Protein backbone atom coordinates (compact mmCIF):
# COMPACT_ATOMS: atom_id res chain seq x y z
CA UNK A 1 0.00 0.00 0.00
CA UNK A 2 1.19 3.51 -0.80
CA UNK A 3 0.78 6.81 0.99
CA UNK A 4 -1.07 9.31 -1.20
CA UNK A 5 -0.24 13.00 -1.26
CA UNK A 6 -1.27 16.12 -3.15
CA UNK A 7 0.51 19.40 -3.81
CA UNK A 8 -1.39 22.69 -3.54
CA UNK A 9 0.08 25.61 -5.46
CA UNK A 10 3.40 26.06 -7.25
CA UNK A 11 6.45 25.30 -5.19
CA UNK A 12 8.41 28.43 -4.26
CA UNK A 13 10.95 27.00 -1.84
CA UNK A 14 14.44 25.89 -2.78
CA UNK A 15 15.27 22.27 -3.40
CA UNK A 16 13.59 19.22 -4.87
CA UNK A 17 10.10 19.71 -6.29
CA UNK A 18 7.92 17.83 -3.81
CA UNK A 19 5.95 16.07 -6.53
CA UNK A 20 9.21 14.23 -7.30
CA UNK A 21 9.42 12.53 -3.92
CA UNK A 22 8.07 9.37 -5.56
CA UNK A 23 11.48 9.03 -7.23
CA UNK A 24 13.22 8.85 -3.86
CA UNK A 25 10.44 7.38 -1.70
CA UNK A 26 8.62 4.80 -3.89
CA UNK A 27 5.93 4.00 -1.31
CA UNK A 28 4.44 7.47 -1.93
CA UNK A 29 1.94 8.26 -4.65
CA UNK A 30 1.18 11.77 -5.94
CA UNK A 31 -2.60 12.00 -6.40
CA UNK A 32 -2.43 15.44 -8.04
CA UNK A 33 -1.06 18.96 -8.20
CA UNK A 34 -3.73 21.61 -7.75
CA UNK A 35 -3.87 25.42 -7.89
CA UNK A 36 -4.10 27.34 -4.64
CA UNK A 37 -7.76 28.30 -4.64
CA UNK A 38 -10.86 27.60 -2.59
CA UNK A 39 -12.01 24.81 -4.93
CA UNK A 40 -9.17 22.63 -3.64
CA UNK A 41 -11.09 22.05 -0.39
CA UNK A 42 -13.63 19.99 -2.32
CA UNK A 43 -10.77 18.13 -3.99
CA UNK A 44 -9.26 17.26 -0.59
CA UNK A 45 -12.62 15.87 0.57
CA UNK A 46 -12.90 13.73 -2.58
CA UNK A 47 -9.30 12.51 -2.92
CA UNK A 48 -8.73 11.95 0.84
CA UNK A 49 -4.92 12.22 0.66
CA UNK A 50 -2.83 11.06 3.59
CA UNK A 51 -0.46 14.00 3.12
CA UNK A 52 -0.72 17.56 1.73
CA UNK A 53 2.13 19.82 0.69
CA UNK A 54 0.67 23.35 0.82
CA UNK A 55 2.47 26.26 -0.81
CA UNK A 56 1.13 29.44 0.77
CA UNK A 57 -0.06 32.09 -1.68
CA UNK A 58 1.49 35.39 -0.57
CA UNK A 59 0.14 37.57 -3.38
CA UNK A 60 -2.94 38.68 -1.41
CA UNK A 61 -5.43 36.92 -3.69
CA UNK A 62 -8.71 36.70 -1.76
CA UNK A 63 -9.70 33.57 -3.71
CA UNK A 64 -6.71 31.64 -2.38
CA UNK A 65 -6.87 29.03 0.35
CA UNK A 66 -5.36 30.21 3.64
CA UNK A 67 -3.88 28.30 6.55
CA UNK A 68 -6.86 29.28 8.71
CA UNK A 69 -9.36 28.01 6.11
CA UNK A 70 -7.49 24.73 5.83
CA UNK A 71 -7.47 24.33 9.62
CA UNK A 72 -11.22 25.00 9.78
CA UNK A 73 -11.85 22.38 7.09
CA UNK A 74 -10.78 19.67 9.56
CA UNK A 75 -14.24 20.03 11.14
CA UNK A 76 -15.96 18.38 8.19
CA UNK A 77 -13.27 16.20 6.60
CA UNK A 78 -13.74 12.49 7.31
CA UNK A 79 -9.98 11.91 6.97
CA UNK A 80 -7.68 14.52 8.57
CA UNK A 81 -4.57 14.85 6.38
CA UNK A 82 -1.05 15.55 7.54
CA UNK A 83 -0.22 19.02 6.17
CA UNK A 84 3.27 20.32 5.38
CA UNK A 85 3.57 24.06 4.65
CA UNK A 86 6.03 25.15 1.96
CA UNK A 87 7.26 28.72 2.49
CA UNK A 88 10.67 30.34 1.95
CA UNK A 89 10.29 32.42 5.14
CA UNK A 90 8.97 31.79 8.67
CA UNK A 91 6.33 34.51 8.36
CA UNK A 92 3.46 32.03 8.69
CA UNK A 93 5.01 29.64 11.19
CA UNK A 94 3.02 30.87 14.20
CA UNK A 95 -0.24 30.82 12.25
CA UNK A 96 0.54 27.28 11.14
CA UNK A 97 1.03 26.15 14.74
CA UNK A 98 -2.25 27.79 15.86
CA UNK A 99 -4.19 26.01 13.12
CA UNK A 100 -2.83 22.52 13.70
CA UNK A 101 -0.50 22.34 10.69
CA UNK A 102 1.83 19.35 11.00
CA UNK A 103 5.14 20.60 9.56
CA UNK A 104 6.75 23.67 7.98
CA UNK A 105 9.53 23.58 5.34
CA UNK A 106 11.67 26.46 4.04
CA UNK A 107 13.70 24.10 1.87
CA UNK A 108 12.73 20.82 0.22
CA UNK A 109 16.07 19.08 -0.11
CA UNK A 110 16.31 15.34 0.29
CA UNK A 111 17.28 15.68 3.97
CA UNK A 112 14.41 17.97 5.00
CA UNK A 113 11.90 15.94 2.99
CA UNK A 114 13.16 12.72 4.54
CA UNK A 115 12.87 14.16 8.05
CA UNK A 116 9.36 15.45 7.37
CA UNK A 117 8.21 12.15 5.87
CA UNK A 118 9.72 10.24 8.80
CA UNK A 119 7.68 12.33 11.26
CA UNK A 120 4.59 11.83 9.11
CA UNK A 121 5.02 8.03 8.99
CA UNK A 122 5.38 7.85 12.78
CA UNK A 123 2.09 9.74 13.07
CA UNK A 124 0.31 7.81 10.33
CA UNK A 125 1.46 4.16 10.09
CA UNK A 126 1.23 2.85 6.54
CA UNK A 127 -1.99 0.87 5.98
CA UNK A 128 -1.44 -2.88 5.77
CA UNK A 129 -4.54 -3.80 3.78
CA UNK A 130 -3.45 -5.43 0.53
CA UNK A 131 -6.70 -6.86 -0.74
CA UNK A 132 -10.39 -6.17 -1.11
CA UNK A 133 -13.32 -8.45 -0.29
CA UNK A 134 -16.00 -8.55 -2.98
CA UNK A 135 -19.43 -10.13 -2.63
CA UNK A 136 -20.38 -11.73 -5.94
CA UNK A 137 -23.62 -13.64 -6.12
CA UNK A 138 -23.50 -15.89 -3.03
CA UNK A 139 -19.70 -15.95 -2.88
CA UNK A 140 -17.07 -13.74 -1.29
CA UNK A 141 -13.90 -13.13 -3.30
CA UNK A 142 -10.69 -11.76 -1.80
CA UNK A 143 -8.69 -10.00 -4.52
CA UNK A 144 -5.18 -8.67 -3.98
CA UNK A 145 -4.79 -5.12 -5.24
CA UNK A 146 -1.71 -6.18 -7.20
CA UNK A 147 -3.81 -8.76 -9.07
CA UNK A 148 -6.49 -6.31 -10.24
CA UNK A 149 -5.79 -4.93 -13.74
CA UNK A 150 -8.89 -2.83 -14.28
CA UNK A 151 -12.55 -2.39 -13.35
CA UNK A 152 -15.40 -2.02 -15.82
CA UNK A 153 -18.86 -0.61 -15.10
CA UNK A 154 -21.84 -2.68 -16.18
CA UNK A 155 -25.02 -0.81 -15.25
CA UNK A 156 -25.13 -0.99 -11.43
CA UNK A 157 -22.50 -3.71 -11.16
CA UNK A 158 -18.73 -3.66 -11.61
CA UNK A 159 -16.54 -6.28 -13.26
CA UNK A 160 -13.00 -6.80 -11.90
CA UNK A 161 -10.48 -8.08 -14.46
CA UNK A 162 -7.52 -9.89 -12.88
CA UNK A 163 -4.01 -10.81 -13.94
CA UNK A 164 -5.02 -14.43 -14.56
CA UNK A 165 -7.77 -13.31 -16.94
CA UNK A 166 -10.68 -14.05 -14.64
CA UNK A 167 -13.64 -11.74 -14.14
CA UNK A 168 -15.35 -11.13 -10.81
CA UNK A 169 -18.65 -9.25 -10.73
CA UNK A 170 -19.45 -7.04 -7.73
CA UNK A 171 -22.87 -5.62 -6.93
CA UNK A 172 -21.69 -2.09 -6.35
CA UNK A 173 -21.13 0.80 -8.74
CA UNK A 174 -17.82 1.91 -10.21
CA UNK A 175 -18.17 5.18 -8.32
CA UNK A 176 -18.22 3.28 -5.04
CA UNK A 177 -14.97 1.46 -5.82
CA UNK A 178 -13.37 4.69 -7.01
CA UNK A 179 -13.70 5.98 -3.44
CA UNK A 180 -12.34 2.89 -1.62
CA UNK A 181 -9.49 1.59 -3.79
CA UNK A 182 -5.86 2.73 -3.30
CA UNK A 183 -4.89 5.96 -5.13
CA UNK A 184 -3.03 4.15 -7.93
CA UNK A 185 -6.41 2.98 -9.24
CA UNK A 186 -7.36 5.83 -11.58
CA UNK A 187 -10.65 6.63 -13.30
CA UNK A 188 -9.93 7.13 -17.03
CA UNK A 189 -13.45 6.79 -18.44
CA UNK A 190 -17.01 6.74 -17.18
CA UNK A 191 -16.85 2.95 -17.51
CA UNK A 192 -13.25 2.17 -16.49
CA UNK A 193 -10.86 2.38 -13.56
CA UNK A 194 -7.33 1.13 -14.23
CA UNK A 195 -4.44 0.05 -12.02
CA UNK A 196 -1.72 2.33 -13.43
CA UNK A 197 0.97 -0.21 -12.64
CA UNK A 198 -0.27 -2.22 -15.64
CA UNK A 199 -0.20 0.67 -18.14
CA UNK A 200 2.49 0.15 -20.79
CA UNK A 201 1.52 2.73 -23.43
CA UNK A 202 -0.77 5.73 -23.82
CA UNK A 203 -1.87 6.80 -27.30
CA UNK A 204 -3.50 10.22 -27.30
CA UNK A 205 -4.35 10.18 -31.03
CA UNK A 206 -6.68 7.24 -30.46
CA UNK A 207 -7.51 7.95 -26.79
CA UNK A 208 -6.32 4.51 -25.76
CA UNK A 209 -4.45 3.08 -22.80
CA UNK A 210 -2.53 -0.12 -23.52
CA UNK A 211 -1.96 -2.51 -20.65
CA UNK A 212 0.19 -5.54 -20.08
CA UNK A 213 -1.60 -8.87 -20.56
CA UNK A 214 -2.74 -7.69 -24.04
CA UNK A 215 -5.47 -5.42 -22.75
CA UNK A 216 -6.41 -1.97 -24.03
CA UNK A 217 -8.92 0.53 -22.70
CA UNK A 218 -10.36 3.81 -23.98
CA UNK A 219 -10.01 7.04 -22.04
CA UNK A 220 -12.37 9.98 -22.46
CA UNK A 221 -11.55 13.67 -22.90
CA UNK A 222 -13.05 14.47 -19.51
CA UNK A 223 -10.30 12.33 -17.92
CA UNK A 224 -7.49 13.47 -20.23
CA UNK A 225 -6.04 15.58 -17.40
CA UNK A 226 -5.72 12.44 -15.29
CA UNK A 227 -3.82 10.68 -18.07
CA UNK A 228 -1.50 13.65 -18.53
CA UNK A 229 -0.92 13.70 -14.77
CA UNK A 230 0.26 10.09 -14.89
CA UNK A 231 2.77 10.98 -17.60
CA UNK A 232 3.89 14.18 -15.87
CA UNK A 233 4.70 12.39 -12.64
CA UNK A 234 6.56 9.54 -14.38
CA UNK A 235 4.48 6.98 -12.55
CA UNK A 236 4.74 4.54 -15.45
CA UNK A 237 7.78 3.34 -17.32
CA UNK A 238 8.85 5.12 -20.50
pLDDT tens across the length of the chain (238 residues): 578 899 998 887 888 888 888 888 878 888 888 988 888 888 888 888 899 999 986 665 657 888 999 988 888 887 788 999 999 999 999 999 999 999 999 999 989 999 999 999 988 876 667 888 888 777 888 999 999 999 999 888 999 999 999 999 998 999 889 878 888 898 999 999 999 889 999 999 999 999 988 899 999 888 887 787 777 665 544 4
Whether 188 and 225 map to the same domain: the answer is yes
Question: Does the residue 237 lie in any domain?
Answer: no
Whether 109 and 136 map to the same domain: the answer is no
**pTM of the complete model:** 0.59
| Structural domain containing residue 72 | 3-123
Whether 15 and 115 map to the same domain: the answer is yes
Question: Does the residue 226 lie in any domain?
Answer: yes
Whether 219 and 142 map to the same domain: the answer is yes
Q: How far apart are CA 103 and CA 178, in angstroms?
A: 30
Question: Does the residue 106 lie in any domain?
Answer: yes
Whether 99 and 186 map to the same domain: the answer is no
Total number of domains constituting the chain: 2
Q: What number of CA atoms fall less than 13 Å from residue 104's CA on the CB side?
A: 17
Whether 117 and 137 map to the same domain: the answer is no
List 197's β-bridge partners, or say none: none
Q: How far apart are CA 21 and CA 233, in angstroms?
A: 10
Backbone angles phi, psi at 25, to 5 degrees: -130, 85
Whether 15 and 106 map to the same domain: the answer is yes
Whether 18 and 91 map to the same domain: the answer is yes
Q: How far apart are CA 184 and CA 181, in angstroms?
A: 8
Q: How far is CA 162 from CA 6, 95, 140, 145, 147, in A?
A: 28, 48, 15, 9, 5
Question: Does the residue 154 lie in any domain?
Answer: yes
Last residue of a domain, one of 102, 123, 144: 123
Whether 30 and 57 map to the same domain: the answer is yes
Question: Does the residue 238 lie in any domain?
Answer: no
Last residue of a domain, one of 123, 156, 191: 123
Whether 158 and 101 map to the same domain: the answer is no
Whether 194 and 222 map to the same domain: the answer is yes
Last residue of a domain, one of 99, 123, 147: 123
234: left (phi over 0), alpha (psi -120 to 50) or beta: left
CATH of the domain at 150: 2.40.50.1020
Amino acid sequence: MHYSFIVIGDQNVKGIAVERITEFFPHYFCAGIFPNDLAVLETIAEVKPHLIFFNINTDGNTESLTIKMLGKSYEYLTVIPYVVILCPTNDFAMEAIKNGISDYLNNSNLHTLGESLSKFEKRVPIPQQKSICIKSYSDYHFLKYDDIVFLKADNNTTDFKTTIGSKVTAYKTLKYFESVLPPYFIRIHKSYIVNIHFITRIQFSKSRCYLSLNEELPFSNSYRGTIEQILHLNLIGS
